[in-house]
Amino acid sequence: MKTLPLGLALALLATQAPAQQMLSTASPIPEGAEKRFCYYEGMAYSEDAFVLMVGDNTVTSTVSTVQERLLRCHREEDGSLKWKPQSTFSTNN
Q: Say if 38 falls within a structural domain.
A: yes
> Model pTM?
0.55
Please state, in angstroms and rounded to a whole number, the distance separating the CA atoms of residues 60 and 54: 17
The total number of structural domains that make up the chain: 1
Contact present, 89 and 65 (Cβ < 8 Å): no
Q: What is the pLDDT of residues 33-83, one digit of tens each?
A: 777 889 888 888 999 999 988 877 666 666 667 788 899 999 999 888 999
For residue 39, the enclosing domain spans: 30-92
Please state, in angstroms and rounded to a whole number, the distance separating the CA atoms of residues 18 and 2: 26
Q: Is the pLDDT of residue 86 over 50?
A: yes
Q: Say if 2 falls within a structural domain.
A: no
Give the closest residue to 72 by CA, choosing from 92, 52, 43, 42: 52
Q: Say if 12 falls within a structural domain.
A: no
H/E run at residue 14: helix 6-25
Q: Sign of dihedral through CA atoms 36, 38, 42, 43? A: negative
What pLDDT sits at residue 1? 46
Mean pLDDT, residues 4-11: 60
CA contacts within 13 A on the Cβ side of 40: 17
